[in-house]
Copies of this chain bind each other. A is one copy, B any other.
């Protein structure tokens, strides 16, 4: 049997390392790549190398950045009385897209997970606590995901931070805007009812 020529086989192998990409999709992507313009393929290869080489974590907030400290931590116009805590750097980007939050961030790089043996020292919790001493922080907004681990991490942080006299808040849970009640899961619906507001 004829094998794929080695350059294709290797490219398929690389695409298959990406999440949600099986052999069929990887093969389709590899053949597509071969038909792409040379400059686009070169740019792709360069972007891969640069993303790995030029990005680091901010030594203050843990966000992805080219420079340290990151753009947000360096920005004097941001409200230094608020820290919004997220699980991953991409959550910072999601918040920034909203354009409504002007405080600081802290990226945990994970959540507490007894099942996977992830304790407070394994994620960026010590560095968060350290920031609470140094800065004039008045509120910590916990924006971990609405998963079991995310909730547990939120509760843990709340118990840790509140005694220091700092306000701890959590993002509201409820129905997604534009979504149907009919299709909402029970837990979301329960949170929506619990969090109801007077009109």
Q: Do A11 and B97 touch across chains, with their CB atoms under 8 A apart?
A: no
Kindly state whether residue A178 has any CB partner on chain B within 8 Å.
no
Q: Which residues of A line the B interface, CB within 8 A?
A: 1-2, 4-8, 10-11, 13-14, 17-20, 25, 27-34, 36, 38, 40-55, 64-66, 71-72, 88-90, 92-93, 96-97, 99
**Main DSSP-derived SS at the A contact region:** helix
Q: A31-B89, A41-B49 are in contact. List 9 more A-B contacts (CB 8 A).
A: A2-B72, A6-B66, A10-B43, A11-B50, A13-B47, A17-B44, A19-B28, A34-B51, A42-B49
Q: Do A64 and B2 touch across chains, with their CB atoms under 8 A apart?
A: no
So how many copies of this chain end up in the complex? 2
**Residue of A13, A41, A51 with most chain B CB atoms under a 10 A cut-off:** A51
A43: chain B residues within 8 A (beta carbon): 10, 14
Q: Do A49 and B45 touch across chains, with their CB atoms under 8 A apart?
A: yes
A64: chain B residues within 8 A (beta carbon): 5, 8, 34
A50: chain B residues within 8 A (beta carbon): 7, 10-11
Q: Do B19 and A33 touch across chains, with their CB atoms under 8 A apart?
A: no
Q: Do B47 and A10 touch across chains, with their CB atoms under 8 A apart?
A: yes
29 A-B pairs with C-beta separation under 8 A:
A2-B72, A4-B93, A5-B64, A5-B66, A7-B53, A7-B66, A8-B51, A8-B64, A10-B46, A10-B47, A11-B47, A11-B50, A11-B51, A14-B44, A17-B44, A18-B29, A18-B32, A19-B29, A27-B90, A27-B93, A28-B90, A31-B88, A31-B90, A33-B51, A34-B55, A34-B64, A42-B52, A45-B45, A48-B48
